[in-house]
């Protein structure tokens, strides 16, 4: 596949599109949202059929997708996200006059976005990566996920229509189909300026390596999932055994366990381990096994379990029998903390509804686990307030291992807001300094540029003296609007 | 060299130091500034002797170094740099209650900083990289530059004293000496979380490659210099021939041309090329050749010139004769734009006071040059206001190739303020999304973390409801203090 014409068209579009007003960008994004809503009667059954996810879940996901688009439309329409900073000149400064310098965020350039299999809408064609890149002013070359080709194509058409109706250059969005080779070629194309990906560690790491080894290395935002440890402290668990078991199992089995925030690791104190395992088992028995996204993913799930079943350190609370080729029967195994600490393999994600229950004896073991943990999207710490108050050192250590630290509830259900951080230390993502969910996701696709002594008529509106956009700016060190 | 104890000490220091208040961090930083000022009568002659830079220049650099430290002290004392964001809970939201999520920036972890030969103070031991990392809450493992070992050691002692006097763990700052192997080992150590470097492309690229190929890849902020093109438009140049020649030569030969913003490329319209070349030559003849940092750098300078002297496309306006082994005699050569466009080699930086004058015939050639340019720290565009107004497309294209775009003066003299962007597209730096000079340099060493439903007493001060620090925060989507 010759990708040059695609990237040439994207680059041409970029030089125009990056400069259109926040209002115009917002109008364009809202047209995409309206287009998705107009197609919902086709989209919902189509995405459901292609992903095996129930229509209810897809309906929710469509709502989330539309909500995300509106969040970014509002963000760019308001405009303060560009971090405008003005340092005024001082011609009288000694020993040398001070120049006028104005800085703001400008779009990076054409971005390659990869769709995710587990979110055919919210993390795919018009998902958070595409929309935050478009919001930042970057054209998107979108590589469709082969697990939901028709859904992707239809959403691609919706975006294309919005491009045309907004009289934008067609290179603002390009829908590309293909396999791994096409994906690699997209990430390696010299015109690409960034890559966004949600999926497996192997997939994300391959893109990261390709992008870092280019003649011009480019950033890769790969969200590669994690085991999202849940840590139960003694009192809290003892006081809420049934309720916590219920919450945990609901989170573990949601969407057949195919969420990047799926809790695949839970640490419980030995005193409650047996009782809690029983409570979890009772809940698991109430779960109807749900079909996974496709047979390949189900096969990987059962293969990973088969490998773990060969490990003598594990005691199985619930074994998943592969009763058919597609459904995920949930599974749970127990392991002693001392054994878990011996082998990093126990930290590997099993994509699906499997959890490993690590039984700890002492607080020291828990702290050692916290030190040894790989980087995670989330960590959840269940404790009574007085228990937590005594665990400041543990909390301090856990902060180093995750992007989001929860003290109630479960990690699934990622809020799309301003404060969300969906991105954690490696290997959960390739760049912990950014989020792929929430308003700040836009920052991935922009870089600062400073203008020194630029004639006032040439300044972008965000940096003009009179602040025509009415945005928040830092002027001579003070925030102002 | 066994680096484990160094990193273990840094990691232990980190878990404490990251959490100290902005006020305490500011007091610590100010102690470093005071220590440098107290040692100035030793430091200035020492740094001057080790670097061959005149005492006047070093005195200015010390002032800049102290000024930078105070800027970061003020920044962390004020505290808003942590980008605190609060999304309040909404227990009544349907279909699911909304949790309380609070996000801010937290320190990355131990950072490895490499000193630069051309700034023995401002980009070295207590330079911008070290200070911005310390300001962010990261311990620093500092690799001294072998070109100024005594200066580095003395500044290291000043920092160490400030650590002790502030009763901080000694692992907050470690001074390490050694060669390239030690540098590589530091960047590869599993406990290191980021690398900052100012120097050559080869040095920066080697660190970037090492850091990306680690088991856990880490960010590298390598500022690798550039040729900082100056583009002269016809009218402006015709109206200010002598003044611009004087400015240009002063910038080109400042500090023997050893600045990362040294203008090594200048584009002039053919109609004025001969006259401007003559004006530049007249100015160059008034320059007294200054000694370079060391003989190795001077040898590289003359080697690079010798290679260019073999290129038939160049017409030499001023040839640098290597009259001794250390001084940089400035040099200037002319080339036709059409020839320049044929070979990327003409874009390579010659570290020292050499400039290549590219003579363009048409605006189209200038635009083609702008498209072909490698990433730069700065680009300077000299034009009359009415000339510039007609060059919007050129300006738009130039923005893609630099971090700072100047419309007056010369690129040397990098302001240390809020709006400065010292960092441009690859290969001028390895990460165009960050700056290594100015207040925003602190952002390189922090990542966001979100707390979901954290008990209020456990929240860091920046995120407590009553805003005890009085910082700017985004609360439910609105900026507030």
What pLDDT is attached to residue B284?
Answer: 96
A vs B, Cβ pairs < 8 A, gives 210
Which residues lie below 8 Å from residue A71, measured CB to CB, with a gap of 6+? Answer: A416, A417, A438, A439
Across residues B107-127, what is the average pLDDT?
A: 97
Mind listing the pLDDT tens digit for each residue in B133-146? 999 999 999 999 99
Residues B78 and B108 in one domain: yes
Q: With contacts defined as CB-CB under 8 Å, which chain A residues touch B451?
A: 404-405, 407
CATH code of residue A133: 3.40.605.10
Domain membership of residue A412 (yes or no) is no
10 Å Cβ neighbour count for B94?
A: 6
Q: How far apart are CA B386 and CA A347, in angstroms?
A: 64
The whole-angstrom distance between A176's CA and the closest CA on chain B is 25
Residues B138 and B287 in one domain: no
What pLDDT is attached to residue B324?
Answer: 82
Q: Is B457 on the interface with A (CB under 8 A)?
A: yes
Burial of residue A195 (number of CB atoms within 10 Å: 0-12, 13-18, 19+): buried
Comparing alpha-carbon positions, the chain A residue that sits nearest to B426 is: A216
Contact, B130 vs B140, CB < 8 A?
Answer: yes
Residues B89 and B168 in one domain: yes
Residues B75 and B216 in one domain: yes
Domain membership of residue A54 (yes or no) is yes
Task: Tell me the pLDDT of chain A (481 aa) as tens digits.
Answer: 899 999 999 999 999 999 999 999 999 999 999 999 999 999 999 999 999 999 999 999 999 999 999 999 999 999 999 999 999 999 999 888 999 999 999 999 999 999 999 999 999 999 999 999 999 999 999 999 999 999 999 999 999 999 999 999 999 999 999 999 999 999 999 999 999 999 999 999 999 999 999 999 999 999 998 999 999 999 999 999 999 999 999 999 999 999 999 999 999 999 999 999 999 999 999 999 999 999 999 999 999 999 999 999 999 999 998 888 899 999 999 999 999 999 999 999 999 999 999 999 999 999 999 999 999 999 999 999 999 999 999 999 999 999 999 999 999 999 999 999 999 999 999 999 999 999 999 999 999 999 999 999 999 999 999 999 999 999 999 999 8
Alpha-carbon distances of B466 from A207, A263, B99, B387, B451, rounded to whole Å: 44, 33, 19, 53, 17
Q: With contacts defined as CB-CB under 8 Å, which chain A residues touch B101?
A: 404, 415, 417, 419-420
Which of B198, B233, B209, B229 lies closest to B403, judged by CA? B229
Main-chain dihedrals φ then ψ at residue A33, nearest 5 degrees: -60, -45
Nearest-CB residue to B451 (from A400, A405, A457): A405
* Percent above pLDDT 70 for chain B: 100
Domain membership of residue B412 (yes or no) is no
Residues A218 and A236 in one domain: no
Domain membership of residue B419 (yes or no) is no
What pLDDT is attached to residue A322?
Answer: 81
Which of A373-411 are b and which e, b meaning 16 or more Cβ less than 10 Å from the residue's Cβ? bbbbbbbbbbbbeeebeebeebbebbbbbbbbbbbebbb
Across residues B442-451, what is the average pLDDT?
A: 98
Question: From the candidates B77, B138, B260, B365, which is the catalytic residue?
Answer: B260
Domain membership of residue B425 (yes or no) is no
What pLDDT is attached to residue A461?
Answer: 98
Mind listing the pLDDT tens digit for each residue in A230-283? 999 999 999 999 999 999 999 999 999 999 999 999 999 999 999 999 999 999
A400 to B109: CB separation less than 8 angstroms, yes or no: yes
Question: From the candidates A260, A283, A349, A402, which is the catalytic residue?
Answer: A260
Put simply, the chain B residues between 40 and 99 with a CB less than 8 A from any chain A CB are 80, 85-87, 96, 98-99
The whole-angstrom distance between A315's CA and the closest CA on chain B is 31
Residues A94 and A241 in one domain: no
Residues A210 and A238 in one domain: no
Domain membership of residue A421 (yes or no) is no
Q: How far apart are CA B451 and CA B467, in angstroms?
A: 16
Mind listing the pLDDT tens digit for each residue in B259-274? 999 999 999 999 999 9
Query: What number of CA atoms fall less than 13 Å from residue B271's CA on the CB side?
Result: 10
Q: Based on the structure, what is the number of domains in chain A?
A: 2
Residues A210 and A326 in one domain: no
User: Where do we find the tokens 């018009």?
Assistant: A126
| pLDDT mean across residues, chain B | 97
Put simply, the chain A residues between 217 and 246 with a CB less than 8 A from any chain B CB are 217, 219
Residues B291 and B328 in one domain: yes
A405 to B450: CB separation less than 8 angstroms, yes or no: yes
Q: How far apart are CA B104 and CA B85, in angstroms?
A: 6
Q: Is B11 on the interface with A (CB under 8 A)?
A: no
CATH code of residue A314: 3.40.309.10
| pLDDT mean across residues, chain A | 97
Q: With contacts defined as CB-CB under 8 Å, which chain B residues touch A420?
A: 87, 101, 103, 450
Tell me which of B263, B388, B411, B419 to substitute to probe the interface with A (most A C-beta atoms closer than 10 Å).
B419
User: Where do we find the tokens 């692992």?
Assistant: B171
Look up B223 and say whether it is catalytic. Answer: yes
pLDDT at B430 over 90: yes
What ipTM goes with this model?
A: 0.97
CA gyration radius, chain A: 24
Tell me which of B450, B451, B470 to substitute to probe the interface with A (most A C-beta atoms closer than 10 Å).
B450
Domain membership of residue A50 (yes or no) is yes
Residue A131 domain boundaries: 4-224+432-480
Nearest-CB residue to A433 (from B388, B404, B447): B447
Tell me which of A62, A215, A390, A419 to substitute to probe the interface with B (most B C-beta atoms closer than 10 Å).
A419
Mind listing the pLDDT tens digit for each residue in B157-196? 999 999 999 999 999 999 999 999 999 999 999 999 999 9
Domain membership of residue B26 (yes or no) is yes
Residues B17 and B144 in one domain: yes
Residues A213 and A160 in one domain: yes
H or E element that contains A381: strand A376-382
What pLDDT is attached to residue B110?
Answer: 98
Residues A270 and A220 in one domain: no
Q: How far apart are CA A412 and CA A259, in angstroms?
A: 7
């Amino acid at each position: 596949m010759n990708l040059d014409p695609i990237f040439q068209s994207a680059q041409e579009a970029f030089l125009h599109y990056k400069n259109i007003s926040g209002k115009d960008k917002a109008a364009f994004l809202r047209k995409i949202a309206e287009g998705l809503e107009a197609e919902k009667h086709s989209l919902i059954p189509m995405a459901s059929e292609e992903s095996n996810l129930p229509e209810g879940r897809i309906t929710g996901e469509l709502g989330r997708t539309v909500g995300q688009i509106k969040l970014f439309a509002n963000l760019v329409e308001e405009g303060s996200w560009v971090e405008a900073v003005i340092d005024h000149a001082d011609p009288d400064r000694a020993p040398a006059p001070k120049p006028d310098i104005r800085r703001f965020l400008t779009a990076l350039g054409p971005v390659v976005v990869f769709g995710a299999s587990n979110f055919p809408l919210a993390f795919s064609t018009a998902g958070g990566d595409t929309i935050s890149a478009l919001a930042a002013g970057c054209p998107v070359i979108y590589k469709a996920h082969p697990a939901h080709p028709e859904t992707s194509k239809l959403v691609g058409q919706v975006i294309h229509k919005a491009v045309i109706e907004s009289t934008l250059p067609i290179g603002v969005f390009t829908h590309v189909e293909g396999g791994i080779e096409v994906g690699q070629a997209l990430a390696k194309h010299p015109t690409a300026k960034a890559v966004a990906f949600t999926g497996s560690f192997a997939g994300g790491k391959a893109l990261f390596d390709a992008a870092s080894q280019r003649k011009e290395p480019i950033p890769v935002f790969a969200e590669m999932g994690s085991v999202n440890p849940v840590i139960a402290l003694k009192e809290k668990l003892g006081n809420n055994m049934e309720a916590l078991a219920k919450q945990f199992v609901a989170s573990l089995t949601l969407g057949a366990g195919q969420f990047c925030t799926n809790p695949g690791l839970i640490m419980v104190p030995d005193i409650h381990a047996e009782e809690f395992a029983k409570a979890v088992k009772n809940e698991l028995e109430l779960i109807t096994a749900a079909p996974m996204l496709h047979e390949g993913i189900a096969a990987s799930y059962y293969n990973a379990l088969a490998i773990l079943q060969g490990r003598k350190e594990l005691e199985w609370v619930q074994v998943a029998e592969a009763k058919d080729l597609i459904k995920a029967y949930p599974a749970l195994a127990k392991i002693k903390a001392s054994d878990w600490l011996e082998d990093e393999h126990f930290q590997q994600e099993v994509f699906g509804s499997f959890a490993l229950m690590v039984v700890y004896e002492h607080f020291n073991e828990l702290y050692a686990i916290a030190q040894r943990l790989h980087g995670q999207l989330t960590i959840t710490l269940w404790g009574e307030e007085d228990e937590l108050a005594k665990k400041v050192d543990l909390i301090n250590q856990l902060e180093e291992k995750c992007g989001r630290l929860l003290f109630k509830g479960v990690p699934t259900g990622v809020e799309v807001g301003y404060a969300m951080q969906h991105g954690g230390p490696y290997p959960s993502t390739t760049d912990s300094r950014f989020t792929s969910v929430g308003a700040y996701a836009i920052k991935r696709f922009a870089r600062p540029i400073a203008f020194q002594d630029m004639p006032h008529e040439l300044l972008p509106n965000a940096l003009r003296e009179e602040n025509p956009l009415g945005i928040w700016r830092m002027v001579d060190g003070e925030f102002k609007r």
